[in-house]
Amino acid sequence: MAGLEYRGNRIGLNTGAGTTKLIESSKTLTKGDVVDLTSDVVDVVGAGNPMFGVVDGFVTKDGRPLQNAVSGTDYDGTYTAGGTGVETYVAAADNETDKQVKAVIRQFAPGDLWVALADAAIGTTGVSDEAGGYFDLVAGSDTLDESTYLTGTVCQFFSHGPDPVKGGNYVIVEAAEVQI
């Protein structure tokens, strides 16, 4: 798995609604990427920066899913169909002014739990294999930076500990630094 996968909401909120935002020109986004919102366009979030949400798909400027759109007519970037970690859109250099392809974003909501992959074996840095600390993302990616695990200092994601379903280096996290 590449990219974050939604696991549920720990406080019972129904948070499934998404929003659409214009993709910054010449940027590449993949389903599962964590993004920020600047000047009403989205791009992959930088390490340590506040986050807006997670990419859940792509639509034309009139809201039609890209998998049902016509290349050259509805979009002029490069689209690859698929699921989380696969479905990708590389925006054209003039996306903001021409075809205006948008990303469907699932905004972070209180209590939302996500499964994310760490970039190294959890437990390498102190107690990163335990709940109660914070991770930042690796710069320009959707992977947790295991070496940033801290307790007592807020980073991008709060850790609920290892994912008992996926195992390995997968961690259940909740967004801690969000754009509102």
Q: Would you say residue 128 lies in a domain?
A: yes
List pLDDT tens digits, range 29-84. 999 999 999 999 999 999 999 999 999 999 999 999 999 999 999 999 999 999 88
d(CA 63, CA 50): 27
Q: Would you say residue 4 lies in a domain?
A: no
Are 40 and 97 in a shared domain? yes
Return the pLDDT at 117.
96
For residue 141, name the pLDDT band (cuts at 50, 70, 90). confident
d(CA 161, CA 149): 12
Structural domain total, the chain: 2
Are 91 and 166 in a shared domain? no
Are 89 and 53 in a shared domain? yes
Tokens 């295991």 label which residue? Answer: 146
For residue 174, name the pLDDT band (cuts at 50, 70, 90). very high
Q: Which domain holds residue 152?
A: 112-175
Are 164 and 146 in a shared domain? yes
Are 101 and 121 in a shared domain? no
Return the pLDDT at 15.
78
Return the pLDDT at 18.
86
Radius of gyration, alpha carbons of the chain: 16
Residue 69: CB atoms within 10 A of its CB come to 18
List pLDDT tens digits, range 118-134. 999 999 988 999 999 99
Q: Would you say residue 161 lies in a domain?
A: yes
Contact predicate 30/3, CB 8 Å: yes
Q: Would you say residue 7 lies in a domain?
A: no
